[in-house]
Amino acid sequence: MRIAVAIDGPAGAGKSTIAKLIGEKFNLMYIDTGAMYRAVALMAKRNGISEKEVEKLSSLVKSLNMKFINNKLFVNGEDVSKKIREVKISNIVSLYATVSEVRSLLVSLQQSMSQKYNVIMDGRDIGTVVLIDAPFKFYLVASPEVRARRRFNELKNKDIEVSYESILKDIKKRDYIDSTREVTPLRKAEDAIEINTSNLTIEEVVNEISNHIYKKVN
């Protein structure tokens, strides 16, 4: 059976951790679409292109060869996995993600990846746009404070110094931009299962999603 799993939700809801684990469990290729938007922001910044320069931005995106190898993102042969997580990229990525030309190029790329492999994708528009026919759709939510605390601990473990308050502010700002943008804003697909992860462990969320998958597959 062809499996495609869509996981959407705001920053810090646990999407990438959960998607990686479910991917391993069901032998699915994990595609982190947020990393692709982050890569666009990184390359645009390097080339001095603002989110308002739509033509330049489109040519830039077309020139990027993005590949996931062992959950790392390579852009034109360079491993950008670490650089795209820096706070300066988190602060600007959502602005680039509002540009419809950028979105349609990345969405096509994501759809072509899903045609080649059994995938689990996480992002903001996977269940509503990218994998609209996916048999499994989940929407993860948690309070902004819980999400900021998780992101804070994650960065602290990586020795990245940043305050809890600034993360909370960034998360709230991105929630706002992502859910109010004109082009395909963040929202739950009608057929997605919503899971509030605020008081759940990673294992509990993985089990809940796995049970839904088993139910349909068996």
Residues that bind ligand CDP (CB under 6 A): 11-12, 16, 33-35, 37-38, 93-94, 97, 123-125, 174, 178
CB of 74 to ligand CDP, least distance (A): 16
CB of 217 to ligand CDP, least distance (A): 25
Output 18 or 35, the one with its CB closest to ligand CDP. 35
Task: Point out which residues pair with 136 in neighbouring strands.
Answer: 5
Cα–Cα distance measured from residue 23 to residue 71, given in angstroms and rounded to the nearest whole number: 11
Residue number with the smallest Cβ distance to ligand CDP: 34
Per residue in 56-81, is it b (16+ CB within 10 Å) or e — as a string? ebeebbeebebebeebebebeeeebb
Output 142 or 206, the one with its CB closest to ligand CDP. 142
Torsion angle in degrees (nearest 10) through CA of 50, 54, 60, 64: 110
CB of 130 to ligand CDP, least distance (A): 7
Cα–Cα distance measured from residue 81 to residue 68, given in angstroms and rounded to the nearest whole number: 10
Output 112 or 218, the one with its CB closest to ligand CDP. 112
Output 65 or 179, the one with its CB closest to ligand CDP. 179
CB of 218 to ligand CDP, least distance (A): 30
Cα–Cα distance measured from residue 116 to residue 9, given in angstroms and rounded to the nearest whole number: 25
